[in-house]
Amino acid sequence: MARIKYYYDTDTCKYERVRVTKWDVFLNASGFLAVCLIFAFLIFFVAYNYFDSPKERVLLKENKELKQKYKILDDRMKEVDQILLALQERDDNVYRTIFEAEPIPTSIRSAGVGGVNRYKDLLAEDLEQEELIIKATERLDKLKQKMYIQTRSYDRLIELAKNKEKLWASIPAIQPVSNKELKRLSSGFGMRMHPILKRKIRHHGFDYSAPRGTPIYATGDGVVKKLRRNGAYGIQVMIDHGYGYMTRYAHMQKYIVKRGQKVKRGQCIGYVGNTGRSTAPHLHYEVLKNNKPVNPINYIFQGITPEEYDELLKLASIENQSLS
Strands 14-17 and 185-187, sheet pairing: unpaired
90 domain residue, yes or no: yes
Low pLDDT (below 70) residues in the chain: 1-2, 7, 9, 52, 98-100, 111-130, 191-200, 319-324
Q: What is the pLDDT of residue 257?
A: 95
In a shared domain, residues 279 and 204:
yes
**Which of 14-28 are b and which e, b meaning 16 or more Cβ less than 10 Å from the residue's Cβ?**
eeeeeeeeeeeeeee
Total residues belonging to the chain: 324
Q: What is the pLDDT of residue 89?
A: 82
Beta strands in the chain (DSSP E): 6-9, 14-17, 185-187, 190-193, 200-203, 206-209, 215-217, 222-228, 235-242, 245-255, 262-263, 268-272, 282-289, 292-294
Domain count, the chain: 3
In a shared domain, residues 204 and 286:
yes
pTM: 0.56
295 domain residue, yes or no: yes
Q: What is the pLDDT of residue 306?
A: 82
Q: Which of 142, 170, 198 is the last residue of a domain?
A: 170
In a shared domain, residues 192 and 141:
no
Domain extent, residue 23, equals: 6-50
Alpha-carbon gap, residue 247 to 219, rounded angstroms: 8
In a shared domain, residues 309 and 199:
yes
In a shared domain, residues 264 and 301:
yes
In a shared domain, residues 127 and 224:
no
Query: Which CATH number characterizes residue 273's domain?
Result: 2.70.70.10
In a shared domain, residues 165 and 265:
no
Q: Coil, strand or helix: which one is 36? A: helix
204 domain residue, yes or no: yes
Q: Which of 140, 170, 200 is the last residue of a domain?
A: 170
178 domain residue, yes or no: no
175 domain residue, yes or no: no
70 domain residue, yes or no: no
Q: What is the pLDDT of residue 114?
A: 57
In a shared domain, residues 86 and 38:
no
In a shared domain, residues 191 and 312:
yes
231 domain residue, yes or no: yes
In a shared domain, residues 131 and 16:
no
In a shared domain, residues 222 and 162:
no
In a shared domain, residues 209 and 286:
yes
Summarised one tens digit per residue, pLDDT across range 13-46 is 777 777 777 787 788 888 888 888 888 888 877 7
65 domain residue, yes or no: no
Q: Which of 139, 170, 201 is the last residue of a domain?
A: 170
